[in-house]
Structure 1
């Protein structure tokens, strides 16, 4: 199993484990389905990995993206799907470049930026830390700080934006699942050097 496949599998494992918490966070400012939707999609991803072999990590990441787009409802399917599809095209340039490409894809797809109270509040600081050559602990710290910084924000994108000022004071569920993505990379890719 490649390090990249191990990363995807660890992300799936952590999302399934955290699905009730993600859904609870989403019930405060969204549709109360983030954990359930993402868990269903990543369970389908793991099943697809079991049933397939891939010539390289790019092909594997492309498959992950396509499965997520087709199985996850709401905004998180297209956004996470886009992340993996974009990362697939850049994985040959190394993990930091692939991660950045994925983040840029999410920003373009969601027409969002850091400060909008979305997964980008977690992903952008992580991508910047990776690009700067920081160690995995610093990358995770950057992601977690970005996630936690969503609490006071007023949402400007997604379902939470409909709440206006009432969205402040809540942790963003997408930023929280994105932190699991970063931690999964640290656990798997960090362990391999």
Structure 2
């Protein structure tokens, strides 16, 4: 069993990485969204995580849950469209599981992200195959939980989750959207990668890269 854990400093480093990776992919996310949505996903996500990291940098934290909660509040207040409430809920529900914890091992992180995912599903009513962010998150979190049961290290668990998130993201390309703005396009939404699944993949990529470095 590997004792590698997520602490307050690592969590802040992850958020710095999320901000950087979203900023670097802002135009790409907006380009994906312009094909099947409002063409604002990259701009909104970039604004949200810039505000979140600003808030986190200006605070002192003693537990991981408080960091996730501040991220949630920032996203809910600054990210427009459906992404704000969905990602805000994801981080808020995860923060409840992490409240009071100075560290999180792979098992606790998997439980927290599962809570976040459950919140997203409850709010957005999306199912697997609806061409949304949950198409990347469900296989990723399933993989994270399996890795935790197998006693994987935090980094290895996140690597497995990331691989499944990438597959889930790419698997949205042929799908016809059932939820959100893209669903208005019907069959024309097929052939395009879902922007929400892409930003979910990028967030998990930031988790992994921050730990790798």
TM-based fold match above 0.5:
yes
How far apart are 1:55 and its partner, in Å?
2.3
- After superposition, give the CA deviation of every residue in 1:76-99 in whole Å (9 maximum; x if it has no partner): 000000010001011247211111
Deviation at 1:59, TM superposition (A): 0.7
Q: Which residue, 31, 42, 49 being the options, matches 1:24?
A: 31
Is structure 2 residue 129 aligned with structure 1 residue 115? yes
Secondary structure at 1:132's aligned position in 2? helix
Distance in 1, matches of 2:11 and 2:20, equals: 14
Count of aligned pairs? 191
2:179 paired residue among 140, 157, 177: 157
Match of 2:193 in 1: 171
Who is 1:63 aligned against? 70
State whether structure 2 residue 44 is matched by structure 1 residue 37.
yes
Which moved further from structure 2: 133-142 or 71-80?
133-142
- Asked if 2 retains the 8 angstrom alpha-carbon contact of 1:2 and 1:57, the reply is no
Say which one has the larger Rg.
2
* Mapped partners of 1:64, 1:163: distance in 2: 32
How far is 1:67 from its partner?
0.6
Q: How many angstroms apart in 2 are the aligned matches of 1:52 and 1:42?
A: 15
Distance 2:159 2:80 in 1: 32
Once residues 37 and 139 of structure 1 are traced to their aligned partners in structure 2, the CA distance between those partners, rounded to angstroms, is: 25
Aligned mate of 1:13, from 13, 20, 40: 20
Structure 1: stretches of 5+ with no match in the other structure: none
Give the structure 1 partner of residue 142 of structure 2. Answer: 128
Which 5+ residue runs of structure 2 have no aligned equivalent? 1-7
Aligned counterpart in structure 2 of residue 141 of structure 1, from 146, 160, 163: 163
> 2:4 maps to which residue?
none
CA distance in structure 2 between the aligned counterparts of 1:176 and 1:115, rounded to whole angstroms:
14
